[in-house]
Amino acid sequence: MTAPATLAEVLTVEHRAIDEGIEKFVAASPGGSVQEWAAPLVDSMDALRRHIYLEEELVFPQLRTGPLMMPIMVMLTEHGEMWRRMAALDAKLASDGVDQEPHRSEAVAACREMLELLDSHNGKEEPIIYPHLDSDMDDDSQAFLRDFLTDGTTPDGWECERAAAR
Ligand SMILES: [Fe+2]
Ligand SMILES: [Fe+2]
């Protein structure tokens, strides 16, 4: 029997799945409806908002005292940057002619930047923060997080701590 996935593994898999949706949008060839074209990006942004929610509300409060305080501050700042970029992408997707040039290329370019930001963020979060998930979070918090990962949703209107530019 294989051991159940650790929380670090589950959250790392979410990183990859979010990347894949954005990459799919970037690689898509023209054609089809806007809705169809944008679906992988919209799904990834929903998943990323939920991922940021669970990190900021269910994970970081457990770890932010002690040696991880500074790295978590960096994570929060980067989440804020992602949050604003997602809002800008939402606005772009909702505008007329987003699948026509030059809007289409602009949306794709914004997604490439988002992928770079995610790569840099996840490249720190996975080695620095995630090893602590399974060792330093208390049992109740781990159980709560596992339940949330199964069917939890981002509360309506929730915004990440640093959503506003400063
Ligand atoms: Fe994060
Ligand atoms: Fe993450």
**Ligand 2 midpoint to CA 33 (Å):** 31
H or E, element range at 121:
helix 103-124
Q: CB count, 10 Å around CB of 149?
A: 17
**56 C-alpha vs ligand 2 centroid, how far in Å?**
10
- Gap between the Cα atoms of 156 and 133, Å rounded: 26
Question: What separation in Å is there between the alpha carbon of 26 and the centre of ligand 1?
Answer: 22
Query: How do the residues of the chain divide into helix, strand and coil, expressed in percent and rounded to 5?
Result: 75, 0, 25
> Which structural domains are found in the chain, ordered by start?
7-151 (1.20.120.520)
Please tell me the distance from the alpha carbon of residue 107 to that of residue 84, in angstroms, as a whole number. 14
Instruction: Say which residues have a Cβ less than 8 Å from residue 149's Cβ, sequence separation at least 6.
Output: 10, 54
pLDDT in tens, 105-151: 999 999 999 999 999 999 999 999 999 999 999 999 999 999 999 99
Q: What is the pLDDT of residues 51-73, one digit of tens each?
A: 999 999 999 999 988 889 999 99
